[in-house]
Structure 1
Amino acid sequence: MKKIIFIALFVMLLSACGNDSSENSGENGAEEANGTENEDITVVLDWTPNTNHTGLYVARDKGYFEEEGLNVEIVMPGEAGADQMVASGQADFGVSYQEGITEARIQGVPIVSIAAIIQHNTSGFASLKEKDITSPKDFEGKSYGGWGAPLEKAVLDSLMQQENADVEKVEIVNIGDTDFFTAMHQGIDFAWIYYGWTGVEAELRNEELNIVYLTDYSEKLDYYTPVLSTNEKMIEENPETIEKFLRAVSKGYELAINEPEQAANILIEAVPDLDPDLVKASQEWLAPKYKDDAPRWGEQKLEVWENYAEWMYENGLLEEKLDAEKAFTNEFLPE
């Protein structure tokens, strides 16, 4: 996702309000009596706040972090991006993606996935229905609007090869931060979206889409996106902090799973610039997707990491094979 520098004033305001609330006053009193202070933690998002992040805001604003002795600040990534901020220790935790962590690990960047936010890849190549793009073969002769990553062409090529189509016949255009709907009405034929946000927005706009889902064409492309990450130093030196963080976050996402309307309202209150109708509809759609068929929220499988890394290696996106066991861990998830 694209990078924006942004630290929201409402984070500080809501934190201040939370500290004054009767809900937290007992905890603060106990903290003072015990002579202890909450541990300051920074979490960096991958992009502007959306329903992928709901569990984090729920954990913060329902007091779950504070119950664990954590004072958590949620911030936006700088130009370097969330992965670099986490790897360098500028942030303790971050929102990342399996593809990004895989590439980073190969380059020696010490970043590790500690929880899958969503169990299955819900992304695909979307187009307005009138374009009649219903399969990878239909990508030929069309313009694709992307963000300029080599991964994009490799994924297009992988899908198109299954239908004997030629990726060189696709015009790949870097549209940067341009909104999907704006791009579609400015000459771009299709783009890569996540249904849980942009697809749901299309429903609200009454814009009919055709979507070619990655998982319909390759099991290896059913990777974790997004995930929560930390760095190896944090794992080595502060494992208890990670456990506390994930206990709180797990409670946040469990509430989003079981009470999507309440969770949506928490996110709307925390980020008032968001479209309330979109947040509520997206939250309802995502609620069953967070955990899906996993035994608990956040759990990751070795085979998913191995399959996707193998696909990246086969498609020339990795210089060497990934040691998948070191790229992720379920160690810190609550039982």
Structure 2
Amino acid sequence: MIALALACLAPAVPAHAAQTVNLILNWTPAADHSPFYYARAQGWYEQAGIDLAIEVGKGSGVSSLKVGSGGAPFGIADLATMLVARGKGADTVALMSIYANTGQTFYWLKSSGINGPKDFAGRKIGNPPGDASRVMWPAFARAAGVAPEAVTFVNVGPTAKTAALKSHAVDIVSDFYNSHDVKLKEFGSDLGSLNWKDIGLNAYGNALIVNGAFLEKNQKLAGDFVNITQKAYAACVADFEPCLKALLDQVTGLDRQEQEQQWGRIKYLMADEFTTTKALGWIDAGRMQQDYELVQSYLGMEKPFAVESAFSTRLLDPSIRMDASKVPAPQH
């Protein structure tokens, strides 16, 4: 009886140790990644047998290739950039959209004489080599009526873009719309900007992607990962404070106010007619076809493929939807 009583008091031991699962981000951690840190802090991944390891990224091009080669099972990448990588043979599948609207934005100083894309010719654009906007630059250039070869790209790290613009080391930088407030604070009325959506290029932005072979072998784990991630994003939309705390507790060097401002704009990027009615993270087949055609038309597809093979919505939980009442109107 004593032995039985002691056995009952002993802590439960999981039948199987949690499986270490790597997620490579598109860039350095920020507000848009906070749901992953929040869910990890809450133990949600661990409860599903997932020991989540988060790796800092170096651009969507890099994360797409690493996931596509099997170097990491999951990643965050700009969807158009992922399509480019898949056209080169990367084994990648998108499981959930994070940015239903493109976050791609160019920034410049009006005092430099730039008023829009027509003034980009002969200028220097600062961004990292793996930046999605550099990969997709030919599409933007042709849509804006600029010769693709008319600009010079300068390697600038993701955290050095504002400083590079301020010092005039470059004339233009690319960045996500969610960092808009940081630049407004720095440059005020001298700031010029253009979101790619404003010239008709509204390709899907960041998405959760998975290695195709890993997905085939780990259906349940992938399903759990997607549903937990949906749940986390929904929780952060409902109340960002706990998510912000989790992010700041696990990532150093971030400014609280900047991350709060970013999240307000991220909620706008997350919402469209599908994420608010079908499921948070929904990827629409029609829009994916348009994105594929965009990549094919402007960049060419080295190895053409059926676009439906590049994404799946079957793991999404339709009961988890983007709360439209929490979406702020875009501000400039």
- TM-score of the aligned structures, taking structure 2 as reference length: 0.81
1:232 correspondence with 2:215: no
Instruction: Determine the C-alpha separation between the residues in 2 that align with 1:328 and 1:160.
Output: 29
Question: Could you list the per-position Cα deviations for residues 169-199 of structure 1 after superposition, in whole angstroms to 9, with x for gaps in the alignment?
Answer: x4313223272222212342212211102x1
For residues 47 and 196 of structure 2, what CA distance do their matches in structure 1 show? 40
CA contact (8 A) 1:122 1:213 kept: yes
> Pairwise mapping of residues 274-313 of structure 1 onto structure 2 (< 5 A)?
274-293=254-273, 294=275, 295=277, 296-313=279-296
Between the aligned partners of 1:35 and 1:113, the Cα distance in structure 2 is 31
Given candidates 58, 63, 85, the residue that maps to 1:104 is 85
Note the alpha carbon deviations across 1:244-302, whole angstroms, 9 max, x for none. Answer: 11111111111121112332222111112212221122123223432443222111011
Which residue in the other structure is 1:56 paired with? 36
Q: Secondary structure at the match of 2:89?
A: coil
Kept in 2: contact 1:151–1:317 (CA 8 A): no
In structure 2, what is the Cα distance between the partners aligned to 1:188 and 1:35? Answer: 56
Is 1:211 matched with 2:226?
no
Query: How far did 1:109 drift?
Result: 1.7
Q: Percent identity, please.
A: 21
Whether 1:190 and 2:172 are equivalent positions in the alignment is yes
1:114 maps to 95
> What do residues 111-136 of structure 1 show as CA deviations (whole Å, max 9, x unaligned)?
11111111100222111232353332
- Name the CA distance, whole Å, in 1 between partners of 2:118 and 2:83: 29
Measure the CA separation in 2 of the matches of 1:180 and 1:227: 23
Cα distance between partner residues in 2 of 1:241 and 1:183: 42
Change (3 A) 1:39 1:215: same
What is the aligned counterpart of 1:264 among 240, 244, 253? 244
- Counterpart selection for 2:157 from 172, 177, 186: 177
- Where in structure 1 are there 5+ consecutive unaligned residues? 1-27
Question: Does structure 2 conserve the Cα–Cα contact (< 8 Å) formed by 1:257 and 1:288?
Answer: no
Matches of 1:104 and 1:141, distance apart in 2: 29
Segment of structure 1 superposing worse, 228-237 or 142-151: 142-151
**CA offsets per residue over residues 94-152 of structure 1, 9 Å max, x none?**
11121222112212221111111111002221112323533322223433334457635
Mapped partners of 1:226, 1:108: distance in 2? 20
Partner of 2:138: 154
Q: Assess if the C-alpha contact under 8 Å between 2:107 and 2:193 holds in 1.
A: yes
CA displacement at 1:77 relative to structure 2: 4.4
Q: Are 1:90 and 2:90 counterparts?
A: no
Name the counterpart of 1:252.
232
Alpha carbons of 1:78 and 1:148: their partners in 2 closer, same or farther (altered >3 Å)? closer
In structure 1, what is the Cα distance between the partners aligned to 2:148 and 2:73? 40
How many residues were matched structurally? 299
Contact 1:127-1:190 within 8 A present in 2 as well = yes
SS in 1 for 2:270: helix
For 2:117 and 2:168, locate their aligned partners in 1 and report how far apart those are by CA, in whole Å.
22
**CA separation in 1, counterparts of 2:18 and 2:11?**
12
Q: Aligned equivalents of 1:78 and 1:196: distance in 2?
A: 18
RMSD over aligned CA atoms reads 2.5
Alpha-carbon distance change, 133 to 63 in structure 1, aligned in 2, over 3 angstroms: same
Whole-Å Cα distance in 2 between the matches of residues 105 and 133 of structure 1? 35
Q: Distance in 2 between matches of 1:88 and 1:330?
A: 22
Cα distance in 1 for partners of 2:110, 2:235 equals 35
How far apart in 2 are the matches of 1:322 and 1:127? 37
Contact 1:145 1:175 survives alignment (8 Å) = yes
Mark the runs of 5 or more structure 2 residues left unpaired by the alignment: 1-9, 319-332
**Counterpart in the other structure of 1:135:** 116
